[in-house]
Structure formats: structure tokens, C-alpha cells
Amino acid sequence: MSVLISPSLLAADFSRMGEEAARMEQCGADWLHIDVMDGHFVPNITLGAPVVKCLRERTGLFFDVHLMISHPLQYAGDFVKAGAQMITFHVECEDDTAETIRAIKALGCRVGLSIKPNTPVEAILPFLPQLDMVLVMTVEPGFGGQSFMPETMPKVKALREAAPGLLIQVDGGVSAKTIAMAAENGANVFVAGSAVFGAEDPQAAIRQLRSIAEPFAG
């Protein structure tokens, strides 16, 4: 299974988001990770569907949209219309998980389900057959630049054992120092913010991350 690198727009220069998105495509990214926060589910506010629509006009990258919001069922359609190709929402949100999965799939969009560091993996296991991806948060969601939490790795390993062909994404503190641990436990989609956008040579950073993770991909 191939390794996918999804730079996190949260670490970009927000005054130049269109250029930053296009730059990631030129640098060899596979996806673009777009964090949507509502100030309620997490204590931060980022961007909405109109911004995603504008970004869609600037790059052909696969849009990996992470809804860190209380009511994804209400807003998923707006993001799909704006150009999202994967919608990931949280099992801890206030909407019914199964209903939200069905609604996103009905929109013709891939669907992922995310889990916070302190939520047991059992919360997500019943939904695996309906999912295209699971996102294991390796930091507390809400702000970029946090340190990778190794204690989340047993969840990644359990998910890989339960679903050998599933896309398993990790997000938070992913860098050249931490990506091997995540890949070894079964992750194959890697969200990297500061490690890519903050690098002097983002293309080289993406290439390095990929080269470290690929030997573990099976």
C-alpha cells in the first residue's frame, strides 16, 4: 500500500493560501489537508467552504478536509460542493456517526472518521466497514505545532490489524523524527504541517518523509 503525504494548510501562510496550495502540488504532495474548526468542538476557528472553493481553483491536489466541528452533518454538503474529495469528521461530534457517514457517501464523497487521543479505539471499530479512512489524532486537535504523542500508536496498530486495507492517517507532530514510528504501527497517510511548510525546501521535506515511511508500507 502506497504512502500518502498530506501537508496541513494550517501551517501555511494564510495571507497566501492559494499560492501555498499550488506550491505543495509543485513540491510533490499527494493530498492537501484542510483543517476546518468551528470554535466549539475545538477552541480555534479556521476557515469555511467559500475558502475551500477558492483553493479548488488554484490546485489539482486531492482535498483532504478534516471537519473538527460539532455538526458535520449540517456542513458536509457545503464542503463537497466546494471541492472536498475526502471528508473526515470526529466520532466525538454531536451528530449521529452512522447517519453522517451515510450522508457524506450519498454526496459522492469519500468519508473518514477521526478519533481524539483520549478516546478509546473501540469507539471507531464498529464503523470500519463503511469508512474509506480513519484519522488517529496524534495531538489534541485545535492548534498546529504540537508534539507527537507516542501513546496513540497502539490505536493505529489495532486499526491496522482490524482493517488491513484501510487508509490510516495520523495528524499532529508528524516529522522526520516521528513518521517511522507511525508507519511501523500501520499508518500510511501522513499529515505534516510545520515539517513541510516550515522547511527551507518543502520538496525535499516531502521526499524525506516519504522515504522514511515507505519501507514500512506493505
Active site residues: 35, 171
How many other C-beta atoms lie within 10 A of the C-beta of residue 48? 15
Do the Cβ atoms of 196 and 24 come closer than 8 Å? yes
Residue 120, by phi and psi: left (phi above 0), alpha (psi -120 to 50) or beta? beta
* Rounded distance between C-alpha atoms, residue 140 and residue 43, angstroms: 11
